[in-house]
């Protein structure tokens, strides 16, 4: 793994959360994207080299809606940049870590992504992501 690519924060109300984080960071978001396949809306902030992704649900079937049924809004996942996502998925599978999807999916920010099962990662939802060429 290369570095932390971004940190994902699950939010109930995107407009409200965007305002809060704009105030905290002292700058505006730079990217807004809906990922229809995941039923989420995302808003990205950049703080130096680091990115913060706010994620909200666009319908009740969204994984974020399900997360917010069980948890308060807040820290949701940590995403790590990888060189070769398929290779990394293969390696982790061999180590006995369950993947939430068998094949890389297209996520926000033009990335190929895969989530690891939090039961196998000390409760931390980890996203692997690889920039698309």
Task: Report d(CA 73, CA 85) in Å as an integer.
Answer: 28
Whole-angstrom distance, CA of residue 9 vs CA of residue 88? 24
Site string for Zn ion, 33-72 (x = CB under 5 A): --------------------x-------------------
Contacting range for Zn ion; rule: CB under 5 A; set: 1-9, 12-20, 30-38, 89-97? 1-9
Of the residues 11, 17, 68, 79, which one makes contact with Zn ion according to CB under 5 A: 79
- Total residues contacting Zn ion (rule CB under 5 A)? 4
Give CA–CA dist 102/94, Å, rounded: 13
Q: Is 80 helix (H, G, I), strand (E, B) or coil?
A: strand
Report if residue 104 touches Zn ion, rule: CB under 5 A. no
How many CA atoms does the CB half-sphere of 56 hold within 13 Å? 14
Residue 99 CB, nearest distance to Zn ion (Å)? 15
Question: Given the rule CB under 5 A, which residues bind Zn ion?
Answer: 8, 53, 79, 127
């Amino acid at each position: 793994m290369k570095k932390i690519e971004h940190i994902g924060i699950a939010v109930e109300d995107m407009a409200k959360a965007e305002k809060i984080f704009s105030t905290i960071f002292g700058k505006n978001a730079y990217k807004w994207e809906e990922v229809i396949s995941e039923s989420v809306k995302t808003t990205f902030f950049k703080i130096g080299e680091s990115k913060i992704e706010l994620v909200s649900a666009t319908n009740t079937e969204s994984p974020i809606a399900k997360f917010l049924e069980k948890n308060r809004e807040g820290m949701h996942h940590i995403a790590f940049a990888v060189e070769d996502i398929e290779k990394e998925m293969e390696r982790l599978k061999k180590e006995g870590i369950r993947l939430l999807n068998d094949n890389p999916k297209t996520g926000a920010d033009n990335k190929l992504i895969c989530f690891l099962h939090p039961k196998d990662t000390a409760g931390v939802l980890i996203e692997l992501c690889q920039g698309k060429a």
